[in-house]
């Protein structure tokens, strides 16, 4: 039923976009082509892409920025989050997450362990981000077979991309949030001239345990009003330098990211996460051979996180990932109506886990890929897109010297190698039926190569409170996808609406074993029911079954007033996704419920005011061993005031305030492993000041 609850609003959005031709002149409104999309064809905007795309930037990003990417993108159509407490929430796109959504840091993988488990945080700080691009659907194959669900590309300024226009500029910000008593300080500064730019960024955040409405677990009414073990501390610092010349530019940056946060599971676990990362990025802007420019980027990261028993302070398990990723993109010279990009990508990940609760054997994963994405303009009203990607991957298990014997059942597989190949294709069309309208159609056939965790996991995982088992016999995952999107970029009504379907063969997911559990004291598997006094873990095993995902989403804005000194915009949001195994005709686990939302934003000279309400329907379709998730409504408001620049200077001051969950609703996400014991934060107020210079 959830699909049909939000369908009327989606249909209304389509009719509104198609027929809203009258009204005042708003020809200066171009929200869909303000930014060029870097994760796509060169020079393309969201308005010109065949697949669904959202861009979060500017004032809207600063208002919505939260502790995690999942929370930051919570009001974006088609995007939900894993929510493993306030310290960890990875984006889910159209019901797909984990290894099916690529997290990019300035076009290069995040090089962490966030895709392995929902309790692992993404090593990106949203409060230091300049823009977030969300590309939905399988046509994002430029960035890997793991992008079958979509791409989240986070773009910041730590490597300056353009020469500064003034010798020195920057900002400083202080903010306080009431629900977790969050204290955050931010400093960012840019210095340089026409040939050299230096960027320095710094952030520190401290919080207490977050306030929640009622009991964390209503079935076990002990902790009231506070989500125990949910405090976090985050520190992030970076320095980057770019040199600009006649041939192009070259930049390098060093980034240090530390986060210590609690995981509110049954046994209190804290995660001490550290990443040290070096990035190199450059562009050759002079044409050569058959290309008009060349872009390359490279990231090298040393990532580690320790899962600590909060009660004793002892480290249970340490995860380590030494990884790098590089890519080269060659942008072709236009050959008449043909344009495009070809490229090469290489990735290496040396992953290991050591400790009492080891889930996955040490493994070395290397991959190489060739890709191309071409666009052919048949006429001013119609352009076609074609893409292809070939990927090769090898996974090599560790040796006995790496203490492989500590992993149950894998000592005999010391040094084992597994090699896979994948080939993916996409095609699309963008049709412009009238001025400021576009219709995008995208079709794709993708093959996703499985990762070591899905194949070789076999052990208890304290962070998720489960015993996880991989299946080495699983084959690659295949999918066929289609998407139709209608957009309008200017006029009284702007925005986009779309529908999609994605059919998988051998869809890999974790399913709970309903017959047995893992007894921690004896280290054995036993048949249910579990003994009351016994410490035990549920068993989740990776299996493969055919599946289908389909749904719709809409983001529509009504520009009620739009003058240079006054603006009033009304926004509507709706999304829904339905996912089920076609093998057994059963719903898949942890699928987001349908949502509808409405909001307004009013600006007048230096003032900005707004409010929004988002309703999430009940999730009545759930996988085996899951339960129904109740619906909820979240209401928020925001305000800001820009103080006039100080006389004779460029120094400006902005004061801002934000309120969330004003009704103190008990909100739980169907996508969260912890929905029964970890609701979203309760009523909160944020106050802050931002000084620019």
DSSP string, 334-393: PBTTEEEEEEEEEEEEEEEEEESS--S--EEEEEEEEEEEEEEEEETTEEEEEEEEEEEE
- pLDDT recorded at residue 209: 96
| Residue numbers in the chain where pLDDT is lower than 70 | 1-43, 137-141, 399-414, 462-463, 647
Locate 11 and state its tokens. Answer: 């249909």
Could you tell me which residues are beta bridge partners of residue 390?
370, 423
Residue 62, SS3 per DSSP: helix
Locate 533 and state its tokens. Answer: 């006094």
- pLDDT recorded at residue 35: 60
- CB burial of residue 433 (10 Å; 0-12, 13-18, 19+): exposed
Q: How many domains does the chain have?
A: 1
Locate 593 and state its tokens. Answer: 């419920």
- pLDDT recorded at residue 275: 97
Q: Find tokens 């896979």 and name the residue.
A: 420
Q: Which CB contacts under 8 angstroms, 24+ apart, belong to 304-307?
A: 304/273, 304/274, 304/275, 305/113, 305/120, 305/271, 305/272, 305/273, 305/274, 306/271, 306/272, 307/263, 307/269, 307/270, 307/271, 307/355, 307/357, 307/462, 307/463
CATH code for position 186: 2.40.170.20
- CB burial of residue 533 (10 Å; 0-12, 13-18, 19+): exposed
What Rg, from alpha-carbon coordinates, does the chain have? 25
What is the tens place of the pLDDT at every residue in 29-82?
445 665 666 655 566 788 888 888 888 998 899 999 999 999 999 999 999 999
Locate 39 and state its tokens. Answer: 């994760």
pTM of the predicted model as reported, rounded to 2 decimal places: 0.91
What is the number of residues in the chain? Answer: 693
Q: CB under 8 Å to 34, separation ≥6 — which residues? A: 45, 55, 57
Could you tell me which residues are beta bridge partners of residue 587?
580
Q: How far is CA 580 from CA 115, 150, 187, 476, 632, in A?
A: 22, 19, 47, 19, 23
- pLDDT recorded at residue 6: 46
Question: Is the Cα torsion angle 410, 116, 181, 632 positive or negative in sign?
Answer: negative
- pLDDT recorded at residue 404: 53
Mean pLDDT of the residues in the chain: 89
Is the bond into 529 cis (omega within 30 degrees of 0)? yes
Q: What residue numbers bound the domain in which 374 lies?
A: 2-692
Side-chain-facing half-sphere of 188: CA atoms under 13 Å: 19
Locate 605 and state its tokens. Answer: 């000279």
Could you tell me which residues are beta bridge partners of residue 571?
557, 599
């Amino acid at each position: 039923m959830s699909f049909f609850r939000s369908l009327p609003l989606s249909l209304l959005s389509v009719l509104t976009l198609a027929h809203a031709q009258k009204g005042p002149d708003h020809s200066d409104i171009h929200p869909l082509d303000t930014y060029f999309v870097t994760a796509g064809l060169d020079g393309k905007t969201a308005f010109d892409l065949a697949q669904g795309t959202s861009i979060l930037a500017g004032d809207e990003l600063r208002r919505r920025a939260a502790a995690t990417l999942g929370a930051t993108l919570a009001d974006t159509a088609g995007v939900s989050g894993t929510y493993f407490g306030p310290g960890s929430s990875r984006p889910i796109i159209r019901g797909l997450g984990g290894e099916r959504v690529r997290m990019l840091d300035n076009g290069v993988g995040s090089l962490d362990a966030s895709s392995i488990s929902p309790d692992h945080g993404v090593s990106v700080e949203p409060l230091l981000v300049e823009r977030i691009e969300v590309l939905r659907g399988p046509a994002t194959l430029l960035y890997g077979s793991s992008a079958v669900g979509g791409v989240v590309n986070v773009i910041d300024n730590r490597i300056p991309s353009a020469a500064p226009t003034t010798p020195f500029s920057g900002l400083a910000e202080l903010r306080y949030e009431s629900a977790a008593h969050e204290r955050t300080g931010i400093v960012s500064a840019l210095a340089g001239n026409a040939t050299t730019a230096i960027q320095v960024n710094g952030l520190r955040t401290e919080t207490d345990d977050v306030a929640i409405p009622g009991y964390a677990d209503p079935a076990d009414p002990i902790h009231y009003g506070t989500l125990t073990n949910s405090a976090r501390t985050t520190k992030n610092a970076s320095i980057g330098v770019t040199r600009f010349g006649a041939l192009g530019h070259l930049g390098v940056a060093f980034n240090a990211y530390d986060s210590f946060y609690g995981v509110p599971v049954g046994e209190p676990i804290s995660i001490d996460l550290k990443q040290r990362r070096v990035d190199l990025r450059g562009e050759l802007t002079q044409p050569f051979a058959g290309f008009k420019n060349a872009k390359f980027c490279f990231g090298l990261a040393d990532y580690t996180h320790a899962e600590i028993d909060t009660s004793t302070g002892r480290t249970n398990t340490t995860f380590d990932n030494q990884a790098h990723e590089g890519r080269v993109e060659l942008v072709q010279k236009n050959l008449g109506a043909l344009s495009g990009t070809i490229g090469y990508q290489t990735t290496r990940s040396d992953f290991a886990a050591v400790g009492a609760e080891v889930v996955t054997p040490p493994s070395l994963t290397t991959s190489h890929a060739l890709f191309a994405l071409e666009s052919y303009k048949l006429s001013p009203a119609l352009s076609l897109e074609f893409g292809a990607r070939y990927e090769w991957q090898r996974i090599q298990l560790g040796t006995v010297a790496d203490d492989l014997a500590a992993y149950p059942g894998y000592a005999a597989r010391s040094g084992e190698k597994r090699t896979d190949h994948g080939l993916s294709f996409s095609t699309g069309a963008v049709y412009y039926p009238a001025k400021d309208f576009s219709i995008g159609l995208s079709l794709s056939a993708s093959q996703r190569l499985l990762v070591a965790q899905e194949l070789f996991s076999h052990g208890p995982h304290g962070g998720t409170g489960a015993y996880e088992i991989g299946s080495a016999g699983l084959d690659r995952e295949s999918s066929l996808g289609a998407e139709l999107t209608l957009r309008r970029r200017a006029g009284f009504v702007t925005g986009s609406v779309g529908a999609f379907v994605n059919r998988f063969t051998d869809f890999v997911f974790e399913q709970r074993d309903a017959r047995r559990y893992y007894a921690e004291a004896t280290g054995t598997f036993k048949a249910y029911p579990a003994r009351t006094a016994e410490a035990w873990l549920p068993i989740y095993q990776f299996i493969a079954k055919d599946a289908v995902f389909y749904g719709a989403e809409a983001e529509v804005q009504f520009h009620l007033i739009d003058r240079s000194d006054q603006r009033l915009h009304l926004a509507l949001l709706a999304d829904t996704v339905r996912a089920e195994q076609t093998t057994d005709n059963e719903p898949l686990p942890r699928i987001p419920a349908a949502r509808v939302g409405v909001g307004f934003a009013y600006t007048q000279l230096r003032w900005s005011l707004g409010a929004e309400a988002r309703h999430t329907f009940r999730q009545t379709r759930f996988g085996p061993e899951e339960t129904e998730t109740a619906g909820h409504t979240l209401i928020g408001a925001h305000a800001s005031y820009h103080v006039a620049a100080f006389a004779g200077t460029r120094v400006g001051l902005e004061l801002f305030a934000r309120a969330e969950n004003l009704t103190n609703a008990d909100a739980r996400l169907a996508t969260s492993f912890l929905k029964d014991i970890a609701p979203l934060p309760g009523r909160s107020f944020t106050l802050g000041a931002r000084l620019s210079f």
